[in-house]
Structures are given as C-alpha cells and as structure tokens.
Amino acid sequence: MIERKRTKQIRVGDVAVGGDAPVSVQSMTTTKTADVDATLAQVYALRGAGADIVRITCNDIDAAQGLAEIVPRSPVPIVADIHFQYRLALAALEAGVDGLRLNPGNIRKAAHIKAVASAASDRKVPIRIGVNAGSLDKDLLDKYGSAQPQALVESALAEVHLLEGAGFTDIKISVKHSHVPAMVESYRLLSESVDYPLHLGVTEAGPPPAGVMKSVAGIATLLLEGIGDTIRFSLTANPIEEAEAGRRLLEQLGLRERSSLDLVACPSCGRAEVDVVAVVTEAQQALEAEKLPIQVAIMGCVVNGPGEAREADIGIAAGKGKGHLFIKGQVVRVVPEDEMVEALVEEARKLADEGVEARLAAADASAQELASTTATELLAAQGDANRAAERKARVAEVAEGN
C-alpha cells in the first residue's frame, strides 16, 4: 500500500487534486483550439481513454474564443495552457476555464502574474506553475549553468512567492525535465519545500515505446514514494495513448480502481504446449474489444500455470492439446486447444456479469482432476525444469549439516 504525502487540496472544476483525492490523469489536445468541433471530439475521446482533466492551448484570441464554446460542452474540466501573453490568461478565465497553466520562464513581469492571480481568485480557478527545463529564466541558467533540479525548484518557488504575495494559494506545481533522474530529483526537492499538490511528468518524453518507458520510470518512482497528485505522459503520439498509459499506470500501482483489461502472461519456455505469443496476441485483441475491467492470465502449460496465476480473476493454461480454464486458480473447465481464446472470452463475459462465486459454483466437477492428471503426465514426459525434488533434497542436506 502506497502511503501518499498529504498535500493541500484544490479543485479543478469538479475534480479534486491533492489531499486524499485519487491521483488524476491529464492529457492535452493537439487540435487547433479555434476548431471547436475537432477539439471537443478529442476531449471526449480523451475522457473515454481515462483522462480526468484536459489541457488546451490558448495561444491567440481565436483560441480564447474557441474555449468559450468548448468549456460549457466539455465532459471534463479544461485547463488553459498560457505562454508569454498574460492577457490570454485573462481571456481564458473570461471564457470559463477550470484552471490555468502558467510558465514562469516566459511570463516574467510580477504585475502581470498578480493581475492573473487576482482574476483567477475572483473566479476560484486554480493555477499550475508549470516549470520546464527548456524555458528557465536566463538568470537561473546563468546561476546554475544548466537546468539543474535546484534551478527548476528555485523557479517554481519564486513564482509561488509571487502568487502568495497576491493572496493566491490555489496552486499546483510541476517541475518537468526530459532527463528522468533530474526530473525525479526536482520533484523530491520540491516536495520537501511545499505542501501544494504536484503535477508529475517527464517533459518531451518522445514517441512510444521509449517515451512510455521514460514516463513510467520517472512518474512511477515518485508515486511509489508517495509524491504526486496528478500525472501526464508527454508523448509524441496520439494523446489518447497518453491518457491510456497514465490510467493504466495508476491501476497497476493500485492508485485507481481497475477500469480496463490487465493481461498477464508467462514469458514462455520449452515446456509450453502452445505458441504463447500468438495466443496472447489473439486474446488481447478479443478481450480489449470487450472492455472488461478484469485481470486475465494466459499460461503456456498447466504444470504451474493455474497456481502461479491464482491471483488473476480468470485465466487459461495449455496442456496436451487442451486449454484448462481457471478462475482464481481453480480449474473450472477444459476445452480443445483451438477453442482456448473463444472459451476464455466467453467465460470472462460471464465472470464480469455474474461474479466469481457464481462462476466457481458452475465449474465442471471433473476439470480440476483432469488438470492435475495432465500436469503429472507432462512432468513425467518432460521432466521438472525447476529440478524441485533435487533442490529440496540438497536444501535439507545443508540444513541438517550433511
């Protein structure tokens, strides 16, 4: 169980961020904001993919006017992304946005920041201080020589002091870096300095799969330490992939309830009775189409499969031309090998509709015995790849001093 740092709670529209609120997922549209229909279509798609909050660029008057149409029709809170022109922040607030993102590296006049803070305060709209390694103030770059974690944190704290000086405290903060170790260290330092909610992300992570790996490395490290209240995967890809990846990460860490398929599978070995990769690929496509929020296991053989994957909601293990279908480790049905995926999907639907206890009660009484017999026969034919009996005997000898 992850013990999260308790931070100040703010609200972005109807989504709570910080405190005891669930870690939320964010993404950003890639459409032209002035194209209201295209932008709204992407916002709805992002919501369907698991995004709780969506950021939209507000880079000119046409974009600000587009926000005025988008915000009241959006299924999720909208954050306006502001760079350089503080008056566009004021315009976005007038358009009704639920949050602002300001980059302290390119909005530098204290008077402008305070004007935005005053207008946001009047509307009870939070501001994210979005520090980015690529847009640090020149003075900080001169001081530290490069975008060091200390430089990012100092930039964020300077902006915090400006907002607090204007009486504004509905703040969340990000200190993003494209170098994962620097990103992690930046957030650790920041977490020690403030109790404002933190928005986690590896900036400019790049395309999948490398971009996903960088994002997981940085974001998951911090979340496991209890740091972070909302996240974004910044991928060079369709933003739908960002939302899906973010949501799945939170589910895998136990920070959000599962809402999508979690497929686990053995890596395959010489004992496998089927082409595990082919079966997994076919099953993944079929199960994802069902949109079932369950954990499914696919194992290459029945020797260890059901036992190793007993925590899965449902699974199937191959053995001697048959598929041994199991629920919570108990074999409930045996089917021909060429019907494995079809049977798995059918049983998964029933499991989602009826629940574990009902499906266990409907189990084929002979299935468990047949699976045990098959496993014994395979061990006799193939041998014990783990050499369990030999190793146990040697362990006993050592323990007894022989």
Residue ranges with strand state E in 22-85 = 24-28, 53-57, 78-82
> Which percentage of the chain shows pLDDT scores above 90?
67
Would the pLDDT of 383 be above 70?
A: no
Provide the 8-state DSSP code for 339. Answer: G
Model confidence pLDDT, tens digit, residues 184-211 = 999 999 999 999 999 999 999 999 999 9
Model confidence pLDDT, tens digit, residues 106-130 = 888 889 999 999 999 999 999 999 9
Q: Which one, of 152, 228, 239, lies nearest residue 196 by Cα? A: 228
Mean pLDDT of 332-353: 91
* Cα-based angle 141, 142, 143 (whole degrees, multiple of 5): 90
With 0-12 CB in 10 A as exposed, 13-18 as middle and 19+ as buried, what is 83?
A: middle
Structural contact between residues 363 and 332, judged by C-beta atoms closer than 8 angstroms: yes
What pLDDT score does 264 carry? 86
Q: What is the pTM of this model?
A: 0.84
DSSP for 124-157, written as a single string: T--EEEEEEGGG--HHHHHHHSS--HHHHHHHHH
The residue with tokens 């206890």 is 357
Would the pLDDT of 102 be above 80?
A: yes
Mean pLDDT of 76-83: 96
Token readout for 374 is 């098959």
The residue with tokens 């369709």 is 238
Token readout for 325 is 């279908």
What pLDDT score does 270 carry? 67
The CATH class given to the 10-252 domain equals alpha beta
Structural contact between residues 25 and 50, judged by C-beta atoms closer than 8 angstroms: yes
Spans of all domains in the chain: 10-252, 262-382
Structural contact between residues 205 and 234, judged by C-beta atoms closer than 8 angstroms: yes
Q: Which one, of 33, 25, 81, lies nearest residue 240 by Cα? A: 25
Architecture of domain 262-382: 2-Layer Sandwich (3.30)
Q: Which one, of 126, 63, 133, lies nearest residue 104 by Cα? A: 133
